[in-house]
Structure formats: structure tokens, C-alpha cells
Chain A
Amino acid sequence: EAQVTQNPRYLITVTGKKLTVTCSQNMNHEYMSWYRQDPGLGLRQIYYSMNVEVTDKGDVPEGYKVSRKEKRNFPLILESPSPNQTSLYFCASRSPGGGPGETQYFGPGTRLLVL
């Protein structure tokens, strides 16, 4: 089954304690990205990756890091989490090109609370 998986699904942490949210896709997609979803703000892109070892900032990259060492994995790293990073995070992947068939597939989400 084609899917994007994220772990953990729920996480409560404290300010300053480094954490990593993993993302993995089994569709051999080149493009992957991370979004955060906040009430009243919709989805905002944090980082994206066009392929292995190719990453770039999205709209709200501050406080986040990513890496793309393998095609299937795209972890999101919070080196020093702060309460304003409390949010719902989504990983997504798609294959390149355009058109409706190249839709983005979203993971189930990771709900993060930073105390």
C-alpha cells in the first residue's frame, strides 16, 4: 500500500530538548516536504527536498532542520524546540512533473506540544 508514515504521532516535550520526527514514504517519490498546520493559519511549508541531498527552505523554516540522506526518508529536526513550535506537522511526498496525477500524499500527522 502506497503510504507516508510519520513517527511519533503524538509528542510532548520541554523547551530546548532536541527532537526528531521521522517521515518515510514507500512510493519512490523524489519530492518530499514538511508542513505545519495551525488554527486559522492553514498549512505552511517548512522545508522541502527535491531529491537526495537536495533540500531548501519553505515559508517558515526558522527553528527547523531537515536531512535527506535516503530517498525514502525525510526527518524533521527541532534542535531546540520552543513553545511556538507547538503544532500539527505533516510530511508529504510526490513524484516530479505536473498534473493532477502527481498529487501530494500526506502522512497522518504528528501532534507536538512543547512545554
Chain B
Amino acid sequence: GEDVEQSLFLSVREGDSSVINCTYTDSSSTYLYWYKQEPGAGLQLLTYIFSNMDMKQDQRLTVLLNKKDKHLSLRIADTQTGDSAIYFCAEPNYGGSQGNLIFGKGTKLSVKP
């Protein structure tokens, strides 16, 4: 079955780059997503990448996709304290309900001043 895995914690200093990694299992995924959950809030879509792309850049965010290895990463440049949150990698669940996403367990990013 599908599974999405990511490390649970990452700690960086303010101004450094953060790299959050994710591996997924369904090679037929057309889109892969990164969601952000700030403390006490719900999940919000942060960015996504289409499977025929290797890289997508959006301001401080860079998403890299390695389809061969089924590896997805999110790089946050010049990390700020406001970036402290839990980041979830997600892929569509084609084997399950239409519209359902399979989420990783989330990576908690802590940014130290």
C-alpha cells in the first residue's frame, strides 16, 4: 500500500536553510504536496509539484522531486522564526477515496533565533 515517510524533527538557526525530506511509494502520483501546520491551526497547502517536473521554486521555497528514488524535498531559504511549524508531505491516494491524500507523519521544524 501507499506510504509516505518523513523525519519527525528538524532544528535550524534563523537565517539558515532548512531541508525537509520525504519519500513516497506510489509512482503513479501526478502531484505531490507540501502542507504547513502552524501551532494551533489546521493544515494549509504550502506548495505542490507536478510529477513531470524536477524542481519548482516559489520565493523562499524550492521543491525537488526525484521520481526514480521517489524522493521529495522542501527547501526553505533564509529560514525565519515564523517558519516554525509542522510540514507534511502528501500524495494522492489513488487506491482509496477520490480526493483523499496520504500524509506523512509530519516534520516539526524548530527555528532558533
The chain A residues found within 8 Å of chain B, CB to CB, are 4, 31, 33, 40-43, 45, 48, 50, 56, 58-59, 90, 92, 94, 96, 98-100, 102-104, 106-109
With contacts defined as CB atoms under 8 Å apart, how many contacts are there between chain A and chain B in the complex? Answer: 63
Contact B100 A58 (CB under 8 A): yes
Contact B44 A42 (CB under 8 A): no
Contact B42 A106 (CB under 8 A): yes
Contact A102 B104 (CB under 8 A): no
Q: Mark B75-113 against chain A: 1 for CB-CB distance below 8 A, else 0.
A: 000000000000010001000111111011110000000
A50-B42 contact in complex given A40-B105, A42-B106, A100-B31, C-beta closer than 8 Å: no
In this assembly, does B33 line the interface, its C-beta being within 8 Å of a C-beta of chain A? Answer: yes
Contact B103 A43 (CB under 8 A): yes
Selected from A4, A31, A100, A103, the residue in CB contact (under 8 A) with B98 is A31
Question: What residues of B have a CB within 8 angstroms of the CB of A31 in the complex?
Answer: 98-99
A92 to B101 CA separation, bound complex (whole angstroms) = 11
In this assembly, does B30 line the interface, its C-beta being within 8 Å of a C-beta of chain A? Answer: yes
Contacts A/B (CB < 8 Å), 12 sampled = A45-B96, A50-B98, A59-B96, A94-B99, A96-B98, A96-B99, A100-B33, A102-B99, A103-B45, A104-B101, A108-B41, A109-B42
A41-B105 contact in complex given A100-B31, A100-B48, A100-B50, C-beta closer than 8 Å: yes
Contact B99 A48 (CB under 8 A): yes
**Chain A nearest CB, measured from B42 CB (Å):** 4
